Structure 1
């Protein structure tokens, strides 16, 4: 019996080859751990990044070969008169609460007690030195128009960059990166740079649309440094209309989150809004810890800190005082109807990113994913369900030629998921073992 011909669309296509070329000195695949700004905001005594070399050794031991960070280019190389501040940056976090403890104490990424001072330029060089010793490459990004300055004790960093006119911010960022790249080159670390991102998640930062000057600045930086991969990242690229992404990017470093059941819970609790009448609502009150103070008793961080970050006071209160057991139980109980749509969404978004990158002949990277924002001690994404979703995303990325992929946004030293050691080793090995046939040098 002969096989029926069902049209060209029924013929399988192998798309596991790289979506686009990368510099020959860089790894064929990147297994990424997301250190964001936490590598300097959680660097006090006894904190995850107190010993920077030990943190790099630990990442390498788990099989990672790439670390993605906020390198604070505007603070360090922006030419904005912040050199003295960068040399003695006092880290405070969101500050102390009148109810005791500190704001963000159980909020993921914001659990920064502060109380120490760092020379951030010296620390950046120390990170690159450690990365060279242990075979790690660095993805450089900036979170400065999203949240990094909010962790400083004083508003100078934020107020200085906020004073830059909106239409000049991409240009100032590009100039800062140009100077930082030159500095790293002078120190012998140019080959450690895996990727330079003009800014993290430009669509969720205090920046214009990337098409309004940002892409042109990426192109200018690429022209000045043609041996490097230079781009900007999206938090939620237009997966259904990728033609809207402007030309000029050197990589498709886009993020893949499928909130699904998590979004349903967040909407129910009204936990990510601000200025909601009657906050906390009845649903949130029913899930708070027994010792939760009222929002009035808990207080708010300094006003400038909320202007310097994308989080809201309702988020900080809600994530600090939610009963994580109740939170997790709700997600587990309501997950089943969302499972298939979340899996499809993760796969389809990853495939869309890879297909766009292949069209543009540039490398694709998934630098963040997969489920979304949870309380620090919530375990949904760390559970078997969450890990299965992450594995689905990783496998899809590998099958479609994605160059670099994060295991999970929560797989980093400052998150509890870092303790899931064997799972991380298994996943990093899977990524690095993926074939990179037909890889071409730049």
Structure 2
């Protein structure tokens, strides 16, 4: 498969949830059920964590992972034990049964030994990905892969601490020459081993830095875009990405909807303008766009006092706008399109309406 398919893909992010949320009621305990429901909603691609750093050390070890957070609904909210192979291969086979393509990424989850810190050069990052692709290729499943995102939201320290030596460093912008070298060199090494795949690093940075990054080695760009990320919305409601403290979501409950409705045209306009900025960047660099985390609020969940209607409304406006640009070849409807987000997931008609827009989106001639 390839991202350059002459049509847009309806993609969703299942991150590390596909493997870590398999207890009864967590949403992914039966992959065939979850994937059948995904296809029913009109999606044809899923982006997941392949855990390349763990595969590179020992793919069949049972790894112990502390929780990344307790307040968000992605992954597990307590310590969990997982094995990467053969589960990754089994999941790819399940995707194939349901006609779902797979984009590989990694959030580089910390295990109790923190082996991700071994990936302290572009060469070592590339080697971990080559080990992962070798395992997939040996199983005859390479055709299932749509593209490879070498690191989620690079170079944020929470996801790529090996660049800094710690996950508490101040982030370097994607426009920094050192980051450009990391991206270019690691992609070139992986591409030499697997030239038939498409490669990128996903970004979640200030827009001006994002569009100034060196993407010369990329086959596509993957910006993550939210209204809450391109405005002062979170400052106004008092949300600071509290991963282990409920105060952040308490503030979203108390002020989130009120603040949005009070200045809705400004907030809506900001995400639509950001989409236009990315479309212009795509035209300038000649790369297609995939967005798998988007469009309204960054963190949300089923919770007392949290309403989904406004989130869904803004997501729909953004999907329609992105689809109209001719630059997106993979579009998500939000980063809440998974079975653990029950209120969002059960609105099948909503998903079908948006995926119909995505799957019929025009693609500019230079990207076909």
TM-score range, shorter chain: 0.7 to 0.9
CA distance in 2, matches of 1:137, 1:90: 28
Q: Which runs of 5+ in 1 are unaligned?
A: 1-20, 95-102, 273-313
Give the 3-state SS of the residue equivalent to 2:140 in structure 1: coil
CA distance in 2, matches of 1:217, 1:118: 27
TM-score by length of 1: 0.71
Q: Which runs of 5+ in 2 are unaligned?
A: 165-171, 173-178
1:236 aligns with 2:205: yes
Partner of 2:261: 336
Q: 1:431, CA displacement in angstroms?
A: 0.7
CA distance in 1, matches of 2:198, 2:210: 24
Structure 2 vs 1, CA of residues 334 and 22 (structure 1 numbering), >3 Å: closer, same or farther? same
1:198 aligns with 2:123: no
TM-score by length of 2: 0.84
Partner of 1:120: 84
* Native 8 Å contact 1:107 1:319 kept in 2: no
Partner of 1:279: none
Give the 3-state SS of the residue equivalent to 1:139 in structure 2: strand
Partner of 2:190: 221
CA distance in 2, matches of 1:265, 1:31: 32
CA distance in 2, matches of 1:350, 1:242: 12
Q: 1:437, CA displacement in angstroms?
A: 6.4
Give the 3-state SS of the residue equivalent to 2:25 in structure 1: coil
Superposition RMSD in Å: 2.9
* Native 8 Å contact 2:297 2:311 kept in 1: no
CA distance in 1, matches of 2:26, 2:93: 20
Partner of 1:318: 246
1:264 aligns with 2:235: yes
Structure 2 vs 1, CA of residues 214 and 379 (structure 1 numbering), >3 Å: closer, same or farther? farther
Equivalences for residues 2-13 of structure 1 within 5 A: none
Greater RCO, 1 or 2 (C-alpha within 8 Å, sep 6+): 1
Partner of 2:340: 414
Q: Residue 354 of structure 1 is aligned with which of 275, 279, 288? A: 279
Larger Rg belongs to: 1
Partner deviation per Cα, 1:409-437 (whole Å, 9 max, x = no partner):
11212223212222111111211122346
Q: Residue 101 of structure 2 is aligned with which of 137, 151, 174? A: 137
CA distance in 1, matches of 2:125, 2:212: 25
Structure 2 vs 1, CA of residues 339 and 440 (structure 1 numbering), >3 Å: closer, same or farther? closer
Corresponding pairs, count = 347
1:53 aligns with 2:32: yes
CA distance in 2, matches of 1:27, 1:128: 23
Structure 2 vs 1, CA of residues 23 and 335 (structure 1 numbering), >3 Å: closer, same or farther? closer
Structure 2 vs 1, CA of residues 238 and 212 (structure 1 numbering), >3 Å: closer, same or farther? farther
